[in-house]
Amino acid sequence: MTGAPGSGKSTLTSALIGHMRSRDIDVAVLAIDPSSPFTGGAILGDRVRMQDHATDPGVFIRSMATRGHLGGLALAAPEAVRLLDAVGRRWIIVETVGVGQVEVEIAGKADTTVVVLNPGWGDSVQANKAGLMEIADVFAINKADCKGVEETRRDLEQMLDLSELPADSWRPPIVATVATTGDGIGEFWDAINAHRVHAQQSGQLESRRSFRAREELREIVANRLYQRARQICTGDRWEALTEAVAAHESDPWTAADTMLDGVLDA
């Protein structure tokens, strides 16, 4: 579940949880807050917004603030999802703000990505700029009690027309919701499930999962190499090489090659 700050992701998540619980479906929610390391309004806000479900054992809600942690958001989020999956949560909702490259990347790695927009001029343009059009499987025009729903729907339809999807591929449905009252939540849930069925039948689910595994593995390898680089960039040889570069006796590329000599096949 991704979208601009304040678009109603948490409220929509809460409404969706209510809908799922009325069908006796367990759910876990991971609210990712990249901006605030340990405290912050968003986390508190999410707790308050989702507190309807706080005492329900069928609902698990955690907020994650990962900026500054080793490996960062890109590694911590899939790790948390894997953990929830391992303990048997079949439905895991990840809420992340749809601004910033890492956040959009995380959102794009879900089995189903919901992009939350608001009615009114320009929201779909912003979403497009942020790279959200490409990753959307379902659009929710939330705050549909405000005016401009049809304009936003038209904008989205136009953008989808222009994106020249292959004839047999999934065209993201556009659902109008009022998260605060629950209007449209049934249709929203149906759209998510329809995408699920499509993803399973078309093989998209498998290919996304394999892509995700590949990307995650690459990320971990890159991270390890980075750590290793920090380890080796110390000591006498390092000091001598830095001084040689500073004194223009060597160039940084040659010095780097010297530093790396024998390291990568060690």
Ligand X SMILES: Nc1nc2c(ncn2[C@@H]2O[C@H](COP(=O)(O)OP(=O)(O)OP(=O)(O)O)[C@@H](O)[C@H]2O)c(=O)[nH]1
> Minimum CB separation from ligand X for residue 168, in Å?
33
Identify which of 100, 86, 107, 96 has the alpha carbon closest to the alpha carbon of residue 42.
Answer: 96
How far apart CA 254 and CA 83 sit, in angstroms, is 44
Residue 172 interface partner, choices Mg ion, ligand X, none, CB cut-off 5-8 Å depending on type = none
Q: Tell me if 62 sits within 8 A of 29, measured CB to CB.
A: yes
Angle subtended at Cα 156 by Cα 154 and Cα 133, rounded to the nearest 5 degrees = 175
Contact between 178 and ligand X (CB under 6 A)?
Answer: yes
Contact between 195 and ligand X (CB under 6 A)?
Answer: no
Nearer Cβ to ligand X, position 81 or 140? 140
Contact between 10 and Mg ion (CB under 5 A)?
Answer: yes
Among 59, 64, 81, 97, binds ligand X (CB under 6 A): 97
Nearer Cβ to Mg ion, position 126 or 223? 126
Q: Please report, as residue ranges, which positions from 18 to 47 form the binding site for ligand X (by CB under 6 A).
A: 42, 45
Among 27, 29, 49, 123, binds ligand X (CB under 6 A): 49
Contact between 8 and ligand X (CB under 6 A)?
Answer: yes
Structure tokens at 102: 């890492």
Report the 10 Å Cβ neighbour count for 179: 26
Residue 142 interface partner, choices ligand X, Mg ion, none, CB cut-off 5-8 Å depending on type = ligand X
Report the 10 Å Cβ neighbour count for 172: 20
- Which stretch, 2-10, 103-111, 182-190, 227-235, contacts Mg ion (CB under 5 A)? 2-10
Nearer Cβ to ligand X, position 34 or 78? 34
- Exposure string over 128-161, b if 16+ CB within 10 A, otherwise e: bebbbbebbbbbbbbbbeeebbebbbebbeebbe
Binding site for Mg ion (CB under 5 A): 9-10
